[in-house]
Structure 1
């Protein structure tokens, strides 16, 4: 075990600890609100599934890779490799899909009454559960092909394998590899495009709203930024983190799939960036409601005015 393996193992371990801590803290906030009888927004259901996808991705990707970096590599059998990679792909897909759904439903929620989303705005809460179920089902079906090519590192047959640390992937011809890579990447690319469209719409709506109420904010002496500004900052932070981490992760994973002998550095960087968004996104979301008291206060306000709209 080299010093570089130990260093990368410590990096993965710290990323796991930060990610699990952040996601469980965010989950605790929502459980606290449920226990206290607060009425949650319909988009909070999406965030709960986002947390589940994040935790699933971090545990199934980060923990085995960390063990492999510290020298424990061949600890999984064939079934374990297939199941672990399938759950990893599921967690990654749900994390991407729920982030996309969160942006879309948020854009519909804050849209003006005279916009083209007005009719959908009233019915939007009814489709949240269906959309989340469709997200899970989509990635269950798309990634069903993935376990077929996963196996252990210590097989005795003559099958060509590409080592991925603690497990291996069975190599196929370049045409089939390219087709499978395109199939697995298409839902992610679609979600990325929808999220960019929805987030840009949100920023545009909030900017126009800020311009209309600018004279009200000028009369206030409080140095605190407006709700529109804070919401825009949260959206842009979440979007930039998502685009940066998953774009680089997708590019590195494509290189890993296409190259015959991908370097260990390429594989490690792909794993590092794939866990970046699940580890950081809870802190971005909690940054808008920085404490439990702030969440309770917003919940009370929501009870007093049930028709009011909260940003993010």
Structure 2
């Protein structure tokens, strides 16, 4: 095993372990609140599905790439490749969709009662479950044709033209088929990205107008701490900014892979790395913005007993 492959394997392994730890820790937080009758916000359901999708991306991307970099050439099988790529695409799509839904529902939540969103402020929480279910269904259907073009590397001798993804390969098709296929897969992503940017702009505008309205009534006797709605909005804005940054880097790598018929493994590995960055970082964004969440998620590391944990929270 070359030092380069060992380094690549360690990077993917570290990213996967850190991301899975963060997502499962935050899921534990929400399960703890649910089991103890704690108060949950309406958008917490979206966050839980986002954490599940994050974990799906990390398992289906990080584990096989780590094993391939460390020398497991026969892993996975042809069927395994199809399944892993499909789960990765679905998980990644739900990550995008969940972040989009989170930003949209948050802009509805913080909108003034006098705005055009006033009626939706009451109805929106009832549609969260349906929206997230449709999100899963959409990306499961859109990506169902994806496994048909993926094959295991152990079948390389039977394929005349392919793109190597490190542990799996994809067959080449004519340019028209590739273009139509890319457009089909890119449309939901582009739509969600556009909605996220619109919602983020709306949230920034609402927060700015609110700050201007209340600025003249600030007194030293008032607490300088921002409201829960404002803190939640700032967290989602940070989350969207993080997503857009890593999505842009991922898209650049994907463009390089698409342009060249036989791309090297460097842009392939970089694309895989950037693809898993958001699922790895996003749970820590939530923890960093909410100290109570962070204390609960990491309580077991400090060997805190459950009765003390309940009493402290």
Q: TM-score, normalised by structure 2?
A: 0.88
Structure 2: distance between partners of 1:247 and 1:138: 23
Partner of 1:250: 251
Deviations 1:78-130 (A, max 9, x none): 11111110000010000110000000001111111111111111110111111
Partner of 1:260: 261
CA gap of 1:185–1:111, structure 2 versus 1, over 3 A, is same
Partner of 1:113: 113
Partner of 1:306: none
- Contact persistence 2:253–2:268 (CA under 8 A): yes
Partner of 1:200: 201
Structure 2: distance between partners of 1:229 and 1:214: 15
Q: How does 1:57-136 map to 2 (within 5 A)?
A: 57-136=57-136
- Contact persistence 2:20–2:280 (CA under 8 A): yes
| Gapped regions of structure 1 (runs ≥ 5) | 296-312
Runs of 4+ more than 3 Å apart? 215-218, 220-233, 292-295
- Contact persistence 2:104–2:199 (CA under 8 A): yes
CA gap of 1:240–1:221, structure 2 versus 1, over 3 A, is same
Count of residues paired in the alignment? 295
Partner of 1:145: 145
Q: For the aligned residues, what is the CA RMSD?
A: 1.9
Q: TM-score, normalised by structure 1?
A: 0.89
Partner of 2:306: none
Structure 2: distance between partners of 1:228 and 1:47: 16
Deviations 1:232-267 (A, max 9, x none): 542332122100101221231233234201111101
- Contact persistence 2:57–2:88 (CA under 8 A): yes
3-state SS of the aligned residue for 1:291? helix
3-state SS of the aligned residue for 1:213? helix
3-state SS of the aligned residue for 1:114? coil
Partner of 1:291: 292
